[in-house]
Amino acid sequence: MIIIGLTGRNASGKTTAAEVLAARGFTSVSLSDVIREEARQRGLSAVRENLIALGNELRERHGPGALAQLTVARMLPDRNYAVDSIRHPAEVRALKEAGSASFSLFHVFAPLEARFARSLARQREGDGATLEAFIQQEEREFASSNAAAQQLLETERLADRVIDNDGTLDEFTARLTATLQMLQVASARPSWDQYFMDIARTVATRSNCMKRQVAAVIVSDRRIISTGYNGTPRGVKNCNEGGCPRCNSFGESGKNLEECLCSHAEENAIVQASYHGIAIRDATLYTTYSPCLMCSKMIINAGIRRVVFSEAYPLSDTATGMLKQAGVDLVKLKTHA
């Protein structure tokens, strides 16, 4: 997923930039959409003053990055996004966390006189009708002692690129396109290890264990041949429905493990392969947590040659030592930058 954030002053061309990016395959969204939705629910007109006040209120209530966080929650991982109306550094941080290395903030810049002329031409309700009113209106967005209010100047300073919009639409479009090409966004593809670990994390959402959601994916020749997540065995009431007394009592981690009815993710992935007659010798196992001792013995005896994990299991020192002794390549996946 590639996320291009758009910030800039009133009538600088942020919406036009979003439209240009939309024509190039990006899904265009605006942080103001969240505010406009709130305004509709309250029966308020979507004039600039109302939107600013509502935006500040939402940031005060839910945190300064709330608008971006609400927008990110609606994003789909298989799309690229152009995000308009970014006016607070916390919003930049929230989008950067969602897009990781594939996030860039564009500051769309246009001279004051050009912006005022555009503002008059679009005749949007609530915009300043005189140059003095226009300047006073936008200066209220520049900075504030209120941490939840708009902090446009500080947000502009965080920009990765400045896109000048002081000419024709064709010139602006050419500059945007050239900037996209400079980003070399194709390099943001995940590694194979990251790709399969991301799939494992999705598999983990199917876990029915009350204590911890874990998943494993077995891969051979870059092809998934088996998956598994932790939970009670086939035909036994799900853990989250009361099937495992130990898990549902939320006892201390690492104790009374012999009373746990849940099968581990690695165990289930290996057993599922056996159940369906699929060979896993020399395969790679991806697991969201490093294997326990029992699962490590199964991994070794199943002939799996490589284990990639995301987080270390608290009781895994003996297990990891045994895996290494048996010649299994044990790799901790580096987290996203």
Query: Mind telling me the catalytic residues?
Result: 266
- CA neighbor of 161 nearest in space, from 113, 204, 214, 105: 105
Distance CA 81, CA 184 (A): 16
3-state secondary structure of 130: coil
- What order do you get walking across the sheet with 161-164 strand by strand? 27-30, 81-84, 3-8, 103-109, 161-164
Distance CA 72, CA 91 (A): 10
HSE-up (13 A, CA, CB side) for residue 158: 21
Distance CA 88, CA 152 (A): 6
- Reading the block at residue 320, the tokens are 């990891």
Dihedral angle over CA of 50, 56, 57, 61, nearest 10: 160
Cα separations in angstroms, 331 against 60, 222, 265: 43, 17, 17
- What order do you get walking across the sheet with 329-332 strand by strand? 223-229, 215-220, 284-289, 306-311, 329-332
- CA neighbor of 183 nearest in space, from 105, 94, 72, 77: 105
Distance of CA 22 to the CA centre of its chain: 20
Q: Could you please report the per-residue DSSP string of 236-294?
A: SPPGGGT--HHHHTTPPTTSSGGG--PBPHHHHHHHHHHHTT---TT-EEEEEE---HH
Query: Residue 220 — φ and ψ, nearest 5°?
Result: -135, 130
- CA neighbor of 15 nearest in space, from 36, 35, 1, 29: 29
